[in-house]
Amino acid sequence: MKRIFLASLMIIAAGLSAHAQPIDLKRGVGVHEWLNWSPLASNGSYAWPPYRTYAEWLSSERPLADWPPGDQFVRIKAMGFDFVRLTVDPGPLLANTGTRRQEALDILEAAVRRVTASGLKVVFNLHLVSQVPAYSETIIEGGATSSGVTLYRAMVEDVARMLVDVGTGDVALEPFNEPGYYPCDATGLPPLGDPFGKLVHARSSGHRWR
């Protein structure tokens, strides 16, 4: 039985436990268009509320009537898959704080719960994209002490807290998607990797990492 360890960066620590237990992931599919590339307003900012609805995602490439009846994630589960990797645009989260960030988190939580309600697990991949340059992958290329990484780190903390509320047996977090940051350290990870691992563990364990 294959067990994917999403390492210190990617596993949300279980509840109040000091030791995270990896979730079992065997056969998955990727969903890239639903929560990524969040729609933009005419002025180039993120449209609000952010992200596509489930119906908007399904109808983006074909009419809704063309889809088989029922929930599509239930169908995916029935095909023998056990997890979905959701790529998520973190831009709306990075561009907002306070109430508006929480609104975006609530939308994402509802989306994750929709998937897990089908019996599927979720790998939640924060996937920076270039459509709003201020929140592209360059935001995490300045090193662990840069203002961009500080902003990104706080956002990841909020996402980790939200996912813990969903349930650590059903979700795993990838705080970033293959950042093009060099040089890496001896672990093969960029300098920002270790702080992110500590942060996710601390937030999901009920403690704030400093």
Residue with tokens 């119906």: 55
> Residue 33: which domain range?
7-204
Judge whether 2 lies within some domain.
Answer: no
Judge whether 139 lies within some domain.
Answer: yes
- Domains in the chain: how many in total? 1
The half-sphere exposure of 120 on its side-chain side, counting CA atoms within 13 A, is 29
Judge whether 1 lies within some domain.
Answer: no
Prediction pTM value: 0.80
Judge whether 82 lies within some domain.
Answer: yes
Judge whether 210 lies within some domain.
Answer: no
Are 112 and 163 in contact, with CB atoms under 8 Å apart?
A: yes
Please give the Cα distance from 159 to 157 (Å, whole number).
5
pLDDT tens string, the chain, 210 residues long: the values are 333 323 333 333 333 333 456 788 999 999 999 999 999 999 999 999 999 999 999 999 899 999 999 999 999 999 999 999 999 999 999 999 999 999 999 999 999 999 999 999 999 999 999 999 999 988 888 777 888 889 999 999 999 999 999 988 899 999 988 755 555 555 544 545 444 454 444 444 443 333
Judge whether 209 lies within some domain.
Answer: no
Please give the Cα distance from 51 to 182 (Å, whole number).
31
What's the CATH number where 65 sits?
A: 3.20.20.80
